[in-house]
Amino acid sequence: MPRLKEDQLQKIYDERKKQITAAAVKIFAQHGIQGTKISMITAEAGMSHGLFYHYFKTKEELFISLVREAVVTSIAEIDQLGQLSGSPIEKVQVLTEAILDESGTPFFMLLHQARNSREVPEEVSQLIQQYPLELYVERLLPLFKEGQEKGEIADGNLEELISSYITVLSGVMVLGKGYAVPPVELLLRLVKPYHK
Amino acid sequence: MPRLKEDQLQKIYDERKKQITAAAVKIFAQHGIQGTKISMITAEAGMSHGLFYHYFKTKEELFISLVREAVVTSIAEIDQLGQLSGSPIEKVQVLTEAILDESGTPFFMLLHQARNSREVPEEVSQLIQQYPLELYVERLLPLFKEGQEKGEIADGNLEELISSYITVLSGVMVLGKGYAVPPVELLLRLVKPYHK
Amino acid sequence: MPRLKEDQLQKIYDERKKQITAAAVKIFAQHGIQGTKISMITAEAGMSHGLFYHYFKTKEELFISLVREAVVTSIAEIDQLGQLSGSPIEKVQVLTEAILDESGTPFFMLLHQARNSREVPEEVSQLIQQYPLELYVERLLPLFKEGQEKGEIADGNLEELISSYITVLSGVMVLGKGYAVPPVELLLRLVKPYHK
Amino acid sequence: MPRLKEDQLQKIYDERKKQITAAAVKIFAQHGIQGTKISMITAEAGMSHGLFYHYFKTKEELFISLVREAVVTSIAEIDQLGQLSGSPIEKVQVLTEAILDESGTPFFMLLHQARNSREVPEEVSQLIQQYPLELYVERLLPLFKEGQEKGEIADGNLEELISSYITVLSGVMVLGKGYAVPPVELLLRLVKPYHK
DNA sequence: TATGAATGAGTATTCATTCAT
DNA sequence: GATGAATGAATACTCATTCAT
């Protein structure tokens, strides 16, 4: 019989797994799937490379699980916007700030790499197809429509406007260090009515 | 030895080298430095992998030479803007279209990878430092200043505006396939005066 | 400390050890030394892999101890034949049936692997040399000689006959599942007088 | 254009491939799939381990291709028996000698391992199922039937007799070094009429 | 110049073994 | 005694680079 309580073991297990995923998100975002070596991840997480394989079957599986989480999290964050108080344009501002925020970046970076790499495992491709950009557009449509009705959002085709805005935000975020992050105020000009 | 023959050889040599660089830009842009295998490049260029080493000493050297060329070319293109006829905002539109254009993308992509990868050779880092984004901002400053004076460009800090605009364009370009490319018209809203 | 408790512990100890060896014989016979992983054995024995090392220092030591036991047991079984009642040929028949019997197989299998593998530990090689096939032949010689004298066993060189018979039985046994086990009656033709 | 004629390259290619397969048959037969390391094969074949992968995608693929060849070859050899001159029992003798012959052994060894290992790749299992022992029995049936009619083969159920004989031969062959190979004359007693 | 065979350093993964609890 | 987390040596496989032809 184990001396350690099951919860303790579970805690260690969860902790370790979190260490790995945190390290992995960081490294994958920086180096891509190919450029990331298991040894980089385990060094960053402060453990032996062997231990990695107690928690994930392969590098691929780790990548898939990260992408899955990123996909689900990003959708959930968008859906939470509706519960916030404030006008539509204020909510868009909150979303913009959240996306550009340093801490959120790696997740989007991951999604970007998942979307763009040719070497990405089949399962990731499927995930990406299940959660295409159109889905994000769809989720944001009510918010933007309300904004448009209130005169806070520019007139015109909303699908195009939203997907363009997502593209711009994604792009800015993907660039990472080395580029000047545009002020949120400036980016919002893209969606605000042109003639005030 | 006959002069003609040497010319002939030189021509073949140049041709081959161009085949390789063209293929390499395409593949590097798509797969990154790590993800790109010599065999991918030579397959794309239609030659044996052995032949690659007649033209470049290493994969690294090829990458460096491509980045060097991209850096020089991109600066040159910006400088050529001044010679075009048209109003400043029209020139900015031309630049925007050029950057987003499919054919121009790989070069910028390369620059992006050079700027962001950790594994990039020292020489590339130096190149990037010699041609920082500030340099681009500086080159574009006269054009934007003229636009501002003519009321075609928004008031405010121009350095910030230009570097933000470069960031957005770079981001959109880097995303590549899988994202909706925003209409140029929309992107120009970022630099046009907000109250018309 | 109470004597009873120690007995109890000893009993558990012996039980555990038996569980491991039983599982190990089965798995080794099926997968060979290289193909057998400690985790296979402990899974079969229903315990954690860590516990294995309370009972055996290494996988090698386990294998050696199993081979040692198999060697001793097989010799003992042959020697017990003499105590049985019945004619010589009937005793040979009993031996044949015992060897081909499902339950006896793994032990012989082990011996076979010990005899044939290159990767076998030195100590096993020595064991095998101490108990060569000639030893079995020698032990069976009296029985066969008696049979020959009674006309139940074919004439001719007995050493050759016995070692051939052992070879055939060993071979049939080693094949394992997937092959048709010949009827004992048929196999006995090898040793019975050819002209009845 | 290549300086080497295509035939020369092809020759080198074939030669190397043959070196590898010859070495592999030997090593696999001796150590099994798990026990065989690529480095053993390449060392035996006198080349670097890297070169192995010019000729085979994986260790598994090599094993599969060897088993495939063994299967096809063994069936072909049986079918060739019919064309030989001589009485049925003489042909059985030829077959027996061929199987027990040193040089033929590795191939049968391979088949045995393919038939028995649990770790064998799926494709090998399928091959083995496509060429079950029954197929061999079937191919030998006409020969044995003819022998039975001529009084050279024992009366009784032929399927059982043949499959038993195959089992015995396979077993003897699988045992390999360390066992006394029974004289062919002795083994033939299994199939010859019991009362002469 | 052109080809592809050949090499070996680098990397992912497995698994025997140790050890804290 | 019992468990499973942790380590690292061993091994399959990849790919940049060299070189004989």
Q: For C17-31, what is each residue's pLDDT tens digit?
A: 999 999 999 999 888
Please, which chains are in contact with C (at least 3 CB pairs closer than 8 A)? D
**Contact (CB, 8 A) for A49 and A36:** no
- Do chain C and chain B touch with ≥3 beta carbon pairs under 8 Å? no
The confidence band for C177, taking pLDDT boundaries of 50, 70 and 90, is confident
Higher pLDDT, residue D104 or B54: B54
State the average pLDDT over residues B65-78. 91
**Closest-lying nucleotide for D37 based on CA to C1':** F11
Higher pLDDT, residue B181 or C196: B181
In 10 A of CB C172, how many CB atoms?
A: 26
A48: Cα within 13 Å, side-chain hemisphere: 3
B12 touches strand E (CB under 7 A): yes
Q: Round and report the angstrom distance from CA (D53) to C1' (F13).
A: 8
**Contact (CB, 8 A) for A144 and A161:** yes
User: Which of A165, A171, A187 faces B175 most closely, judged by CB atoms?
Assistant: A171
User: Which of B116, B165, B179 faces A133 most closely, judged by CB atoms?
Assistant: B179
Burial-class residue C14 by CB neighbours within 10 Å (0-12, 13-18, 19+).
exposed
Q: Is D26 on the interface with C (CB under 8 A)?
A: no
Measure CA A179 to chain center: 19
pLDDT digits (tens, 9 = 90+) for D46-87: 999 999 999 999 999 999 999 999 989 888 988 998 899 999
Higher pLDDT, residue C165 or C78: C165
User: Which of A133, A178, A196 faces B180 most closely, judged by CB atoms?
Assistant: A133
Scan residues 112-171 of C and list those with Cβ closer than 8 Å to D: 112, 115-119, 133, 160-161, 163-168, 170-171
Chain C hits for D30, Cβ within 8 Å: 118
Task: Give the pair of three-digit tokens for residue B98.
Answer: 């050029």
Q: How far apart are CA C80 and CA C82, in angstroms?
A: 5
Nearest chain B Cα to A37, which residue?
Answer: B34
In 10 A of CB B189, how many CB atoms?
A: 17
Res. B179: pLDDT tops 60: yes
Name, in order, each residue with C-beta under 8 angstroms of C69's C-beta and a sequence gap of 6 or more: C21
Range name among C1-10, C31-40, D112-121 with the lowest pLDDT average: C1-10
pLDDT for the residue numbered D196: 46
Give the dihedral sign, CA C178/C180/C184/C188.
negative
**Of residues 4 to 23 in chain D, which lie within 7 A of strand E by their beta carbon?**
4, 9, 12-13, 16
Percent of chain C with pLDDT over 70: 96
Res. D167: pLDDT tops 70: yes
Task: Give the pair of three-digit tokens for residue D155.
Answer: 């009366």
pLDDT for the residue numbered D194: 75
pLDDT for the residue numbered D7: 86
Q: Round and report the angstrom distance from CA (A39) to C1' (E10).
A: 12
pLDDT digits (tens, 9 = 90+) for B126-165: 898 899 889 999 999 999 999 999 999 999 999 999 999 9
Q: Round and report the angstrom distance from CA (A118) to C1' (E14).
A: 28
Maximal C-alpha separation, chain D:
74
Q: How far apart are CA A78 and CA A96, in angstroms?
A: 11
In 10 A of CB A184, how many CB atoms?
A: 14
pLDDT for the residue numbered C111: 85
pLDDT for the residue numbered D195: 54
Q: How far apart are CA C131 and CA B77, in angstroms?
A: 87
Q: Is C190 on the interface with D (CB under 8 A)?
A: yes
Q: How far apart are CA B30 and CA A117, in angstroms?
A: 7
Res. D17: pLDDT tops 90: yes
Res. C98: pLDDT tops 70: yes
Task: Give the pair of three-digit tokens for residue C183.
Answer: 């009827």
**Torsion over CA of C56, C62, C65 and C70, rounded to 10 degrees?**
140
**Contact (CB, 8 A) for C168 and D167:** no
**Contact (CB, 8 A) for A169 and A98:** no
State the average pLDDT over residues B66-75. 91
Alpha helices in chain D (DSSP H): 6-35, 38-45, 49-55, 59-80, 88-100, 105-116, 122-130, 133-149, 158-175, 184-188
Length of chain B: 196
Task: Give the pair of three-digit tokens for residue D16.
Answer: 């190397």
- Region at C32 (left for phi over 0; alpha for psi -120 to 50; beta for the rest): left
Query: Do C35 and D30 count as a contact with CB atoms less than 8 A apart?
Result: no
State the average pLDDT over residues A79-95. 93
**Contact (CB, 8 A) for A191 and A159:** no
Mean pLDDT of chain D: 90
User: Which of A118, A167, A189 faces B30 most closely, judged by CB atoms?
Assistant: A118
* Residue whose entry in the numeric block shows the structure tokens 């992998």: B49
**Contact (CB, 8 A) for A136 and A75:** yes
DSSP codes, A157-194: -HHHHHHHHHHHHHHHHHH-TTSPPPPHHHHHTTTS-S
Query: Do A116 and B194 count as a contact with CB atoms less than 8 A apart?
Result: no
Q: How far apart are CA B178 and CA B196, in angstroms?
A: 34
pLDDT for the residue numbered B55: 97
Range with top average pLDDT, A131-135, B46-50, B120-124, C73-77: B46-50
pLDDT for the residue numbered A116: 72
CB pairs under 8 A between A and B: 129
Chain B hits for A181, Cβ within 8 Å: 167
In 10 A of CB B140, how many CB atoms?
A: 23
pLDDT for the residue numbered C195: 55
Q: How far apart are CA A63 and CA A124, in angstroms?
A: 8
Percent of chain A with pLDDT over 70: 95
Give Cα separations from D130 to B15, C13, D63, D78, D126 (angstroms): 54, 48, 17, 16, 6
Percent of chain D with pLDDT over 90: 62
* Residue whose entry in the numeric block shows the structure tokens 């049925």: D88
**Contact (CB, 8 A) for C164 and D180:** yes
Measure CA D124 to chain center: 14
Nearest-10 crossing angle of helices A105-116, A59-81: 120
Instruction: Return the SS3 of C136.
Output: helix
Give Cα separations from D158 to A14, A89, D146, D147 (angstroms): 64, 90, 11, 11
Higher pLDDT, residue A196 or A100: A100
The confidence band for A194, taking pLDDT boundaries of 50, 70 and 90, is confident
Range name among B128-142, D21-35, D101-115, D125-139 with the lowest pLDDT average: D101-115
**Of residues 22 to 41 in chain A, which lie within 7 A of strand E by their beta carbon?**
36-39
Give per-residue burial for C79-107: e unless 16+ CB within 10 Å, then b: eebeeeeeebbebbbebbeebbeeebbbb
Q: Is C194 on the interface with D (CB under 8 A)?
A: yes
**Closest-lying nucleotide for B53 based on CA to C1':** F17
State the average pLDDT over residues A103-112. 79
Task: Give the pair of three-digit tokens for residue B190.
Answer: 């970022």
Maximal C-alpha separation, chain B:
72
Chain C hits for D196, Cβ within 8 Å: 194-195
Query: Do C160 and D170 count as a contact with CB atoms less than 8 A apart?
Result: no
pLDDT digits (tens, 9 = 90+) for D82-121: 899 999 999 999 999 988 887 777 887 888 888 776 677 7
Q: Is A182 on the interface with B (CB under 8 A)?
A: yes
Measure CA B175 to chain center: 14
Q: Round and report the angstrom distance from CA (D159) to C1' (E2).
A: 61
pLDDT digits (tens, 9 = 90+) for B23-51: 999 999 888 889 999 999 999 999 999 99
Q: Which of D168, D180, D183, D169 is nearest to C156 (CA)?
A: D183
Higher pLDDT, residue A48 or A132: A48
**Contact (CB, 8 A) for D71 and D131:** yes
pTM (two decimals): 0.88
Pick the residue of C100, C174, C177, C187 with the most D CBs within 10 A to test the interface with D by mutation: C174
The confidence band for D12, taking pLDDT boundaries of 50, 70 and 90, is very high
* Residue whose entry in the numeric block shows the structure tokens 């006829």: B85
Kind and range of the H or E element at B182? none
Task: Give the pair of three-digit tokens for residue B60.
Answer: 């690294």
pLDDT for the residue numbered B196: 46
**Contact (CB, 8 A) for B153 and B192:** yes
* Helix and strand numbers, DSSP H then E, in chain C: 10, 0
Task: Give the pair of three-digit tokens for residue D126.
Answer: 């399928």
State the average pLDDT over residues A35-50. 97
Higher pLDDT, residue D143 or D29: D143
User: Which of D118, D163, D186 faces C164 most closely, judged by CB atoms?
Assistant: D186
| Closest-CA distance of chain D to residue C2, Å | 48
Q: Round and report the angstrom distance from CA (C195) to C1' (E4).
A: 68
pLDDT digits (tens, 9 = 90+) for A136-190: 999 999 999 999 999 999 999 999 999 999 999 999 988 877 789 999 999 999 9
Give Cα separations from C20 to C9, C96, C106, D170 (angstroms): 17, 28, 14, 32
State the average pLDDT over residues C35-39. 95
**Contact (CB, 8 A) for D95 and D80:** no
**Contact (CB, 8 A) for B108 and B174:** yes
The confidence band for A4, taking pLDDT boundaries of 50, 70 and 90, is low
pLDDT for the residue numbered A100: 87
Q: How far apart are CA C110 and CA D179, in angstroms?
A: 15
User: Which of D112, D171, D196 faces C172 most closely, judged by CB atoms?
Assistant: D171
Res. B59: pLDDT tops 90: yes
pLDDT for the residue numbered A118: 64
| Closest-CA distance of chain D to residue C14, Å | 30
- Do chain A and chain B touch with ≥3 beta carbon pairs under 8 Å? yes
Q: Is A189 on the interface with B (CB under 8 A)?
A: yes
Q: How far apart are CA D1 and CA C189, in angstroms?
A: 69
The confidence band for A3, taking pLDDT boundaries of 50, 70 and 90, is low
Chain C hits for D34, Cβ within 8 Å: 31-32, 34-35
| Closest-CA distance of chain C to residue D35, Å | 5
